[in-house]
Amino acid sequence: MKHPSSRAFFAYWDNKRGSARAPDRADIDPAAVRELLGDIFVLSCEQKLGFPFRVAGTRVCALAGRDLKDQGFAALFTDASRSEIEEITTIVADETLGAIAGLTAQREDGSKAHLELLLLPFNARPHTPVSVTGVLAPFDDECGALGPFTVTSWRYLHQPEKLLPRAIRKLQIARGLMVYEGLR
Mean pLDDT of 170-181: 57
DSSP 72: B
The domains of the chain are located at 4-159
Report pLDDT for 124.
Answer: 78
Asked whether the predicted pLDDT for residue 7 surpasses 90, the reply is yes
Report pLDDT for 182.
Answer: 61
CB atoms near residue 12 (< 10 Å)? 17
Report pLDDT for 160.
Answer: 46
Confidence of residue 130 (pLDDT cuts 50, 70, 90): confident
Percent of the chain exceeding pLDDT 90 equals 70
CATH code reported for the domain at 4-159:
3.30.450.20
Model-level pTM? 0.83
Q: How far is CA 114 from CA 2, 3, 152, 156, in A?
A: 11, 11, 10, 19
Report pLDDT for 120.
Answer: 97
Kindly report, residue by residue over 96-119, the tens digit of the pLDDT: 999 999 999 999 888 999 999 999
Kindly report, residue by residue over 18-71, the tens digit of the pLDDT: 888 899 999 999 999 999 999 999 999 998 999 999 999 999 999 999 999 999
The b-or-e profile of 33-45 (16+ CB within 10 A means b, else e) is beebbbbbbbbbb
Decide which of 43 and 163 is more confident.
43
Confidence of residue 158 (pLDDT cuts 50, 70, 90): confident
Q: Where are the beta strands (DSSP E) in 19-72?
A: 40-44, 53-56
C-alpha span between 106 and 115 (Å, rounded): 11
From the list 1, 35, 14, the residue with the least C-alpha distance to 120 is 14
Asked whether the predicted pLDDT for residue 171 surpasses 60, the reply is no
